[in-house]
Amino acid sequence: MMKTAARLLFPFLVFLAGHAGAQVAFVSDVKGTVQAEGAPAPALLSELPSGARLRLAADATVSVMYAASGREFVLKGPGEYEIRDQEVAARNGAPPRARNTEWRPDTRVLAAASQRSAASVRMRSLARPEPKATNAAFPTEGAVATLQPVFRWEGAMPADFEILTEGREAPVHQAKAAGGAYRLPVKLEPGRDYYWRATTNGDELGSGRFRTLAPDALQRVEGRRPGAKAEFSDRLMYALLLQDVGATQEAHELWTALGKERAGLPDLPGVR
């Protein structure tokens, strides 16, 4: 299923890149037993051409989002549904539940994901690599999607925390941290590189370099940040957005969490 999803993802995203205004429909969530007429079972992020028919078992739910409008249709089994140019119609079963999302999925996000995924898709077709352990320290690479990150490191012992930036001799901020995490109480500057470290008795517990997003990227991320009860598809699209703006570590953590909720989620391109 993982390989099928990856193979479907690449041509779909290339199609999106060249048809930014097209009403492309794609799978934004899928659970349970689903069959597609004359085609493999739909995978997350796979394209659904107009005229495609889906048969859902009683345990199944599928969400279909239209790229140009961001409109999403939630299908619940048992039933049979047809993908049309701008909507999904029930041939039998309960009518789809439609909702207008704020996404209007960013074709730049999806096209960039497809470009980064090409090599990894080929490698996955040869052999599935063993998953790497998640780095407990955060942030250690790329950008962060907030000006007040929550820093994390190994262990729960008290630590001396400091954050520095180039061009300033004195630390930007220093504090005594009570455990293995510290929420920065002040805002960092946007578009700037920083270095942080946490130590105890001279021994380093964690450190990392990162950058803050530029103001326009920060505004874009904050405007799309899902709430605590957000739909799976909103969190899925948000993970792709984080990847696009360079917040790769946060994107990977969210993608990993999503993968625990849904089998068949393709690897997020460009992150370890």
CATH number for the domain spanning 158: value is 2.60.40.10
> Rounded to an integer, what distance in angstroms lies between the CA atom of residue 182 and that of residue 138?
10
Note whether residue 27 is domain-resident: yes
Q: What is the pTM of this model?
A: 0.80
Note whether residue 261 is domain-resident: no
Domain end (from 109, 136, 163) = 109
pLDDT for 44: 85
pLDDT for 109: 64
Same domain, 22 and 105: yes
Same domain, 171 and 98: no
3-state secondary structure of 117: helix
Strand duo 181-183 + 150-152: pairing: antiparallel
> Rounded to an integer, what distance in angstroms lies between the CA atom of residue 6 and that of residue 41?
13
Q: What is the pLDDT of residues 89-121, one digit of tens each?
A: 999 999 999 999 888 766 666 555 444 433 333
Same domain, 81 and 174: no
Query: Integer distance in angstroms from the first to the last C-alpha of the chain?
Result: 20
Same domain, 93 and 153: no
pLDDT for 21: 46
Q: Which residues pair with 29 in a beta bridge?
A: 63
> Rounded to an integer, what distance in angstroms lies between the CA atom of residue 157 and that of residue 127?
40
pLDDT for 95: 97
Note whether residue 129 is domain-resident: no
Note whether residue 217 is domain-resident: no
Same domain, 7 and 90: yes
The residue ranges of DSSP E strands in 122-269, in sequence order, are 143-144, 150-152, 159-164, 173-177, 181-183, 193-200, 203-212
pLDDT for 111: 56
pLDDT for 271: 52
Please say whether the beta carbons of 5 and 29 come within 8 A. no
Same domain, 77 and 151: no
Residue with tokens 């041509």: 11
Q: Which residues pair with 112 in a beta bridge?
A: none
pLDDT for 167: 86
pLDDT for 24: 81
Q: Which residues pair with 62 in a beta bridge?
A: 30, 75
∠ Cα 230 236 241 (to 5°)? 105
pLDDT for 3: 43
Q: What are the tokens at 184?
A: 């920065």
Note whether residue 134 is domain-resident: no
pLDDT for 68: 83
* Average pLDDT of adjacent 10-residue blocks, the chain of 272 residues: 42 46 79 88 86 95 91 96 95 95 71 44 40 69 94 89 92 93 95 95 92 96 91 92 92 91 71 50
Note whether residue 207 is domain-resident: yes
Total domains in the chain come to 2
> Rounded to an integer, what distance in angstroms lies between the CA atom of residue 130 and that of residue 113?
21
Instruction: Find the domain containing 33 and state its range.
Output: 2-109
